[in-house]
Amino acid sequence: MEAPGGDEYFMSKALQLAKEAADADEIPIGAVVVHKGRIIGKGFNQTERLNDVTAHAEMLAITAAASALNNKFLEECTLYVTVEPCLMCAGAIRWARLDKVVYGCKEPKTGYSNELNTEKLGHTEVCPGPLADEARSLMQEFFRRRRG
């Protein structure tokens, strides 16, 4: 793992949150928002616990980061999330004006990272891949257990 402050370091923090989600019987996705090298928001999926379909890791991390900065716009911030964001989260990422999204593994069914860098939604740098194998394994193991 690289030194604190790099993509793998922050993704490892998101993976720790994803493991908390799995321990809580939530889909294991974790996210952190980083501003100037410091984590200012974090979240993990809590849709079951909160009975809220919008309680995705990204949404909770964005809300926490906006509170930390006392600003709805998260310019100069990077979101690290263990799985490619869905359409709802992609919209929130754009509305929050995050500069960059780094995600672990692709989500072939519901992933919308391609929409983050378009004329219609604006331009957010998207970087796939750090610790993708770990994120994928966590998801696969969770669903394997859930299916029995």
Residues known to be catalytic? 58
Q: Spell out a b/e string for 109-132, using b for 16 or more CB atoms within 10 Å of the CB, else e.
A: eebbbebbeeeeeeebebeeebbb
Per-residue DSSP letter, 3:
P
**Tokens 């995705």 label which residue?**
56
Residue 147, number of CB atoms within 10 A of its CB: 6
Strand 100-105 versus strand 77-83 pairing type: parallel
Is there a contact between 96 and 73 (Cβ–Cβ < 8 Å)? Answer: yes
For residues 32 and 65, what is the distance between their CA atoms, to the nearest angstrom? 9
